[in-house]
Structure 1
Amino acid sequence: MPASSVLARRFTIVVVSLASLALCCGLAWWQWERFSSASGTFQNLGYVLQWPLFGLFPAFMFWRIRKLRRQAAEQEAAGSGEDHAAVPAPRPEAAMSSTPTAAPAPDDEPDDELAAYNRYLAELNARDQTR
């Protein structure tokens, strides 16, 4: 990408971020004036605190996208064609507690823990029915 295009893009990002912040700070000021008036409520005060955060959001998103692109470029430069960081490895506890992929055969012994859980659910249902 040509340097002038990158510079124009960065300038546009900065302008959009600053315009967003200025607009949202103006809306926060307007909500503050509403809160200070006789008909103001605490909802207006909540908006006073929220609008500046909304104004900062575009700048945060551009920063985050830039950071992710930089990480992707570093991974490519390191020779790793696959993105292993995007998909976390399953934890051993989660792998053990996952449901089985195949249904048990009918001649297998019943699972005591499952039977106890089903009895517990039946008790809860019975209690709800009596109420």
Structure 2
Amino acid sequence: MRALWTLAWIARHVVALVLIVGFLGLGWWQYSRATGGNSLSWGYTFEWPVFAFFVGFLWFREAQQELKAARQTPEHPAEEPATLQPDATDAGTPSSEAGAGTTDPASDEPVTVRRPVRASVNRQAPSPEDPELDAYNDYLAWLNAHPGARPGDYPGRRNSIK
């Protein structure tokens, strides 16, 4: 519970309270205008309390996440990144079994260093012989070469581009 009483959280509590009270006040003001004959204010009468509810929901959700994180922190301290142990044969480069023999002092479990997975990207080539696509690409290339030109100035086929 102490996690919600830091300076940053006190500021969040104050901002949330001011916004909720302000939005509800604006809703009441719109209600008084709506009962006075302004029919457009009926929509705002219901809109401002929705905004107030949304601010309350966000405040509640953020507070719950902060409390959850505060409960998990003492039990499971953040893991420090593992340091690589250089081999005697290859200085500065991890071995094939990087981290073998290294243990985490907090839990006495072996620390392993994993390499990122690299996936190849298969790019599809455009289908061969597409005259409509070729005409459109020619048109775009011409527009790129003539920045001040209008589409109607294109000297190519008139009916090729719609």
More helix by share: 1
Q: TM-score, normalised by structure 1?
A: 0.43
Q: Which has the higher contact order (CA 8 A, sep 6+)?
A: 1
Q: TM-score, normalised by structure 2?
A: 0.37
Q: Larger Rg: 1 or 2?
A: 2
